[in-house]
């Protein structure tokens, strides 16, 4: 907040500049929350065009009135020291959410939004004991978490809040998981950061709306420090196997240090927080080993590789390739890009933008501004898109789109591609997908099309025949010479948790239960026969249309903590979900996916297995997953 000297002219000028730089619609929502003055909502309604883009339609006189009133309210708060009111009633929240998003928002969102608007976001998400367990019970519930990335850190924070002892084993020599490992040029997030951050740990200082790798990694580093997690983390320690010991109701864990020495640990509870996009997949192309120059995967980028003046061939045009290509193109002699199938690419005006100081100030200082901004992002990048992903059985063009909204998205993106490539019909015909929008991972335009038009860039769509020492040979017999090869070819997602061996009751290994490519879990978290074992970012919890993976982890951890409460308070030794609950849940997941874009036959994606079952991503709206995980029904679990 402004300090008590807010009335000085310097402070007033600072406040004015900040409010002018902030988003007017988000300011308006903050103002309504602070004052309960509903008439602002009425004033905004005629200008709503969707969650993110109606700000520009708000006329300046209305913006100015919002700023003036807000300045007055903030000055009054600053003067009086009065705490801003925290809650709006359901009907006001409902109306505010409708104004925030530009559409009617179902009542499902009220409880979730209310939680987000609370003052102490960590406490509101933390476990509340009904009868606090004694130190012995807590001590007997030692937890081992595998992985110190985004999920492992959060699980650690929540266990710490609850007083449950834990150790985090991390194979790398630093925390941060994917944001530590990936150092390829251009690496960054394409979910906006004010949404892609822990709900309880907002960062008002993101330099960009879509931060790059170093800033993201630093964020997780800071979180590890701030919550004093490092004393619980063993770096350079890779879990090889975990075996459930039924007699002792404990997990016996074998990990390997970087020097190859084995470490044995015992834990009552095992948590996998290994992520899904961490085991690079090299392409199954003949002659890979014959290439004469350096060749590496994007996730194993060679820090010493100097691409300037080189001829680089890049295979793959997914989210990683989409960031690498434009980062290399200006400096290489030649960039040859091999595209097997095109992706839908959406423009976003903020993608390359920095966050100005005024906006940062508003995020940090205007009460509720950040929360309403997050909700707008939540809608624009996640739940607001859901309707576009669901099949309308009566839609007359099922081969190219799913429904009228999905068709609109298709037109919007096609228009963008046409505008970018209007002078290059040869490229345009290569890049516009024929399958429905969102069928493969959606990409945000990273100046991709401008890059394709460069004189030193080739987009090759002829299938690759083999790698040869001097480059890449395509089936038409052409050899595309290269000094270096970059594989932007994705990850071994279908082998979730690979190469670890997780052995549950009767020694059954998790991958034998799942088969080679059919990972399943209840709520993405638990599998019958694997007591006291929880997976974060587990089966069917990934996000494909946008969304925020951190949100999914926060939901998963909450449910896990509720299970641990049941375990501890009940004095049980083990908890596992019942087989019939697991089966019924997965039937629901499959039935839902059958109606969604990712099962469309017109494209491949990494979300489904060769039998057509989508195993990696969620079919649910985020709010549905929030609701499913926020409660805990004892009847769904077996306790022993
Ligand atoms: P990916 O989406 O799986 O893309 C792999 C690319 O390699 C595809 O273009 C694929 O073609 C191609 N490919 C694979 N094998 C090939 C072969 N044998 N011959 C020719 N081409 C081949 O992998 P990714 O780009 O690393 O992205 C994976 C996921 O990581 C993303 O979907 C996203 O969830 C996440 N990610 C996010 C960001 C971000 O937030 N900005 C950045 C990077 C990654 P096909 O499409 O034809 O299979």
What's the pLDDT tens digit per position in 304-352?
A: 999 999 999 999 999 999 999 999 999 999 999 999 999 999 999 999 9
For ligand 1, pick from 320, 474, 537 the residue to mutate: most ligand atoms within 8 Å of CB.
Answer: 320
For residue 318, report the distance from its CA to the centre of ligand 1, in Å: 4
Q: What is the mean pLDDT of residues 356-361?
A: 92
Residue nearest to atom 8 of ligand 1 (CA): 316
How far CA 451 is from CA of 392, 420, 455, in Å, comes to 36, 10, 9
- Give alpha helix (H) positions in 354-466: 357-365, 369-381, 404-420, 425-431, 448-452
Confidence of residue 232 (pLDDT cuts 50, 70, 90): very high
The 10 Å Cβ neighbour count of residue 465 is 17
Q: Residue 283 CA: which ligand 1 atom is closest?
A: 18
Residue nearest to atom 27 of ligand 1 (CA): 319
| Lowest pLDDT segment from 73-77, 242-246, 577-581 | 73-77
Mean pLDDT of all residues belonging to the chain: 94
Query: Where is pLDDT greater, at 11 or 265?
Result: 265
How far CA 501 is from CA of 238, 243, 272, 311, 444, in Å, comes to 12, 8, 12, 41, 36
Q: What is the mean pLDDT of residues 285-306?
A: 97
Confidence of residue 120 (pLDDT cuts 50, 70, 90): confident
Residues 497-508: tens digit of each pLDDT: 999 999 999 999
Pocket of ligand 1 (CB under 6 A): 188-190, 277, 283-285, 315-321, 323, 338, 340-341, 441, 464, 488-491, 604, 606
For residue 343, report the distance from its CA to the centre of ligand 1, in Å: 10
The pLDDT, as a whole number, for residue 7 is: 53
The pLDDT, as a whole number, for residue 2 is: 43
d(CA 589, CA 608): 13
For residue 353, report the distance from its CA to the centre of ligand 1, in Å: 25
The pTM of the whole model exceeds 0.85: yes
Q: What is the mean pLDDT of residues 622-636?
A: 97
Residue 3 has pLDDT above 50, yes or no: no
Confidence of residue 82 (pLDDT cuts 50, 70, 90): confident
Q: What is the mean pLDDT of residues 574-591?
A: 98
Residues 511-552: tens digit of each pLDDT: 999 999 999 999 999 999 999 999 999 999 999 978 899 999
d(CA 327, CA 590): 39
Residue nearest to atom 46 of ligand 1 (CA): 341
d(CA 354, CA 359): 10
Confidence of residue 53 (pLDDT cuts 50, 70, 90): low
Task: Write out the H or E segment, with its range, that includes residue 272.
Answer: strand 269-272
Residues of the chain with pLDDT > 70: what percent?
97
Residue 354, token pair as written in the block: 């920095």
Residue 383 has pLDDT above 90, yes or no: yes
d(CA 226, CA 386): 35
- Beta pairing, strands 334-338 & 311-315: parallel
491 in Cβ contact with 280 (< 8 Å)? yes
For residue 340, report the distance from its CA to the centre of ligand 1, in Å: 10
Q: Residue 340 CA: which ligand 1 atom is closest?
A: 47
How far CA 413 is from CA of 435, 436, 533, in Å, comes to 13, 11, 43
How far CA 235 is from CA of 168, 227, 229, 535, in Å, comes to 8, 17, 12, 20
Confidence of residue 116 (pLDDT cuts 50, 70, 90): confident
The pLDDT, as a whole number, for residue 5 is: 41
The pLDDT, as a whole number, for residue 81 is: 86
What's the angle, vertex CA 413, arms to CA 442 and CA 422, rounded to 5?
130
Residues of the chain with pLDDT > 90: what percent?
89
The pLDDT, as a whole number, for residue 481 is: 98
Residue 251 three-state SS? strand
How far CA 183 is from CA of 23, 286, 440, in Å, comes to 32, 27, 24
Q: What is the mean pLDDT of residues 451-459?
A: 98
Residue 189 has pLDDT above 50, yes or no: yes
The pLDDT, as a whole number, for residue 545 is: 78
Q: Residue 317 CA: which ligand 1 atom is closest?
A: 9
């Amino acid at each position: 907040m402004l300090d008590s000297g807010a009335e000085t002219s310097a402070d007033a000028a600072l406040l004015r500049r900040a409010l002018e730089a902030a988003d007017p619609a988000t300011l308006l929502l903050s103002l309504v929350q602070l004052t309960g003055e509903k008439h602002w909502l009425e004033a905004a309604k005629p200008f709503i065009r969707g969650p993110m883009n109606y700000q520009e339609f708000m006329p300046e006189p209305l913006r100015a009135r919002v700023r003036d009133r807000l300045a007055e309210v903030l000055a009054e708060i600053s003067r009086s020291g009065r705490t801003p009111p925290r809650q709006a009633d359901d009907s006001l929240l409902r109306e505010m959410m409708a104004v925030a998003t530009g559409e009617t928002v179902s009542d499902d969102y009220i409880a979730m939004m209310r939680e987000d608007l609370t003052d102490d976001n960590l406490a509101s998400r933390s476990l509340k004991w009904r009868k606090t367990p004694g130190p012995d019970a807590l001590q007997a519930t030692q937890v081992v978490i595998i992985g110190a990335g985004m999920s492992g850190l959060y699980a650690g924070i929540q266990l710490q809040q609850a007083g449950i002892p834990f150790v985090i084993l991390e194979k790398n020599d630093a925390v941060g998981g994917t944001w530590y490992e990936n150092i390829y040029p251009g690496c960054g997030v394409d979910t906006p950061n004010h949404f892609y951050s822990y709900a309880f740990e907002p960062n008002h200082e993101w330099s960009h709306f879509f931060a790059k790798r170093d800033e993201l990694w630093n964020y997780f580093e800071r979180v590890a420090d701030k919550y004093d997690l490092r004393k619980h983390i063993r770096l350079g320690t890779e879990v090889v196997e975990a075996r459930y010991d039924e007699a002792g109701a404990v997990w016996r864990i074998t990990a390997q240090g970087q020097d190859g020495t084995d470490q044995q640990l015992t834990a009552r509870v095992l948590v996998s927080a290994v992520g899904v996009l961490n085991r690079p997949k090299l392409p199954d192309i003949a002659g890979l080993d014959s290439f004469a120059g350096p060749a590496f995967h994007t996730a194993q980028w060679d820090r010493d590789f100097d691409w300037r003046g080189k001829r680089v061939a890049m295979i793959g045009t997914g989210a990683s390739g989409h960031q690498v290509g434009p980062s290399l193109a200006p400096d290489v002699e030649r960039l040859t890009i091999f595209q097997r199938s095109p992706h839908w690419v959406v423009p976003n005006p903020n993608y390359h933008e920095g966050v100005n100081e005024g906006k940062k100030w508003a995020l940090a200082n205007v009460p509720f501004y950040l929360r309403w901004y997050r909700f707008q992002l939540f809608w624009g990048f996640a739940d607001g898109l859901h309707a576009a992903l669901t099949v309308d059985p009566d839609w007359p063009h099922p081969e190219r789109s799913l429904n009228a909204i999905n068709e609109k998205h298709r037109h919007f993106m096609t228009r963008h591609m046409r505008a970018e490539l209007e002078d290059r019909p040869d490229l345009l015909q290569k890049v516009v997908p024929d399958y429905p929008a969102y069928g493969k991972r959606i990409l945000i335009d990273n100046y991709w099309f401008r890059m394709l038009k460069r004189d030193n860039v080739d987009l090759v769509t002829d299938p690759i025949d083999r790698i040869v020492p001097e480059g890449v040979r395509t089936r038409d017999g052409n050899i595309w010479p290269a000094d270096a090869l970059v594989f932007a070819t994705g990850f071994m997602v279908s082998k979730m948790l690979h190469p670890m061996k997780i052995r549950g009751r009767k020694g059954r290994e998790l991958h034998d239960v799942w088969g080679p490519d059919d990972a399943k879990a209840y709520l993405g978290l638990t599998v019958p026969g694997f007591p006291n074992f929880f997976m974060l970012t587990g089966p069917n919890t990934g996000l494909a249309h946008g969304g925020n993976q951190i949100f999914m982890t926060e939901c998963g951890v909450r449910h896990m903590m509720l299970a641990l409460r049941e375990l501890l308070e009940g004095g049980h030794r083990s908890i596992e979900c019942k087989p019939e609950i697991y089966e019924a849940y997965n039937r629901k997941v499959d039935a839902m996916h059958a109606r969604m874009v990712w099962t469309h036959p017109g494209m491949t994606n990494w979300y489904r297995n060769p039998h057509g079952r989508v195993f990696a991503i969620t079919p649910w709206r985020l709010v549905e997953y929030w609701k499913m995980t926020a409660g805990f029904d004892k009847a769904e679990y077996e306790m022993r």
